[in-house]
Amino acid sequence: MVAPVKSVRFVTFGCKANQYDTQVLREALLRRGMEEANSKADLIVVNTCTVTAEAGRKARKLIRRIAREQPTARICVTGCLSESEPEILRTLPGVQWVLGNGEAKRPVNFLRELGHEVDPEELGIPSGVTEFSGHTRAFLKIQDGCDMACGFCIIPKVRGASRSRPAAELCAEVQRLVLAGHVEIVLCGIHIGHWGRDLDSNLAELMEQLVDIECEDREGRPQPFRLRLSSIEATEVDAHLTSLMADRPDRIAPHLHMPMQSGSDLVLRQMNRWYDRRTYLDACARIQARLDLPAFSADVLLGFPGEGEAEFAETLAAVEEAGFARLHVFPYSPRPGTAAAEQSDRPAPELVRERRAALSEMAAGVAEAYGRSLIGRRDTVVLEGFVGLSGRYQRVRVDPKELTGLPKAVDVRLAQDPTSPLSFLGRSPLPVA
């Protein structure tokens, strides 16, 4: 039996789903009586990501540093890297446990792995989480895993097939999070557009239930909140979901993050994505026609095998046509175990760097144009301190002098008055009033 630990520190790499997974473990360990520490601790839980080679490198580097600086700490590595390269992780200094994404990541099993005999009833561990302490936004993982097989992606191998959490459980969790003080709930997962396929339901049906939730505090006062969808495939934003977003702008932020990956049909085929450029752009146009100035953000993967100058030019044009409010540009790195890892016709690294700079610059201009189109409109900004996120995904800074107390959300009108206390943050700050 391993001696129980008294203090624990959590380090999380990667996506919102991983942040959520860490919170599940955090709540279980703290309920068990452990204290959370920000630096030195008996136990360090490193929740890893393996989506890029860089993510793996960063996690290994951090583990080595922790072992050097805190030689007595016991390190537990979990998350996607612990599925994709457990043998390598086991050889790192200080690593005592390597726990994958499967059963071991359930809180009760996780505690047992650490040598804590626990009775789940006695711990009262709810399904999901109860809060994201210190934050006004909270994540809600609605499903895990993915049934697709994109050529560049290792995630289906390390997280398995898509599994949806039951709607009733999710409704209860939204209520719990809102009553805990969170004013924005971000629905996340690995492939959220597939929510419900294993439950004979779909995402729009889940959203219908979530938007109707009413929360009241102990004095009977209604608690306002909004939902935001995190990454969702453009082809999975169907008419039902779009209508719901159009009808309930008070409850669903008019923002969609829809990974595009490339604007070239040839590259999309090489990637084994299931749509072509026109399908993606038509989905954007259809949503734009139904919603009031929705914000789109996206990921683009540059340097994938087969990407030549013509394919890159198609991506530039697609980014301009979609009018993204924000674009995340990633250089492709082959992941062992993926279909694309064996493909060799990749553009040279210096070319990828040049394309990344050119695409980022064009995307910043497109985002700025979208931001300008919002001037004069009202929006609700969910604040963390004096900086917040509008419903349409604009970072907004608020002058503390204009606020009474420390509200979690404020309604603002975005405008061009340079003396205004509110402004967009970003490449070209836009004054607002």
CA dist., res. 283 & res. 212, Å (int)? 26
Q: How far is the CB of 199 from ligand SF4 (least distance, A)?
A: 19
Number of H-type helices and E-type strands within the chain = 14, 19
Q: How far is the CB of 191 from ligand SF4 (least distance, A)?
A: 5
Are 146 and 191 spatial neighbours (Cβ–Cβ below 8 Å)?
Answer: yes
Q: DSSP H helical segments within 374-411, as ranges? A: none
Element (H, E) at 11: strand 7-12
- 146 versus 252: smaller Cβ distance to ligand SF4: 146
Are 396 and 387 spatial neighbours (Cβ–Cβ below 8 Å)?
Answer: yes
- 51 versus 178: smaller Cβ distance to ligand SF4: 51
Return the structure tokens found at 182: 């969170």
* Residue 153: closest CA among 335, 305, 307: 335
* Residue 183: closest CA among 138, 142, 222, 221: 138
Q: How far is the CB of 196 from ligand SF4 (least distance, A)?
A: 16
Greatest alpha-carbon pair distance for the chain in Å reads 66
Q: How far is the CB of 69 from ligand SF4 (least distance, A)?
A: 34
Interface contacts to ligand SF4, rule CB under 6 A:
146, 148, 150, 153, 155-156, 190-191
CA dist., res. 320 & res. 149, Å (int)? 28
- 52 versus 82: smaller Cβ distance to ligand SF4: 52
- 94 versus 189: smaller Cβ distance to ligand SF4: 189
Q: How far is the CB of 405 from ligand SF4 (least distance, A)?
A: 41
- 10 versus 152: smaller Cβ distance to ligand SF4: 152
Provide the 10 A C-beta neighbour count for residue 253: 23
Q: How far is the CB of 341 from ligand SF4 (least distance, A)?
A: 14
Q: How far is the CB of 133 from ligand SF4 (least distance, A)?
A: 29
249: burial class by Cβ within 10 Å (0-12, 13-18, 19+)?
Answer: middle
Q: How far is the CB of 160 from ligand SF4 (least distance, A)?
A: 11
Are 39 and 8 spatial neighbours (Cβ–Cβ below 8 Å)?
Answer: no
- 163 versus 413: smaller Cβ distance to ligand SF4: 163
CA dist., res. 193 & res. 169, Å (int)? 18
Q: How far is the CB of 228 from ligand SF4 (least distance, A)?
A: 19
* Residue 86: closest CA among 56, 45, 107: 56
Return the structure tokens found at 248: 């309930």
Read off the DSSP letter of residue 104: G
- 251 versus 328: smaller Cβ distance to ligand SF4: 328
- 149 versus 387: smaller Cβ distance to ligand SF4: 149
Q: How far is the CB of 324 from ligand SF4 (least distance, A)?
A: 18
Element (H, E) at 32: none
- HSE, side-chain direction, 13 A CA sphere, residue 400: 5
* Residue 228: closest CA among 272, 185, 282: 185
- 88 versus 148: smaller Cβ distance to ligand SF4: 148
- 339 versus 351: smaller Cβ distance to ligand SF4: 339
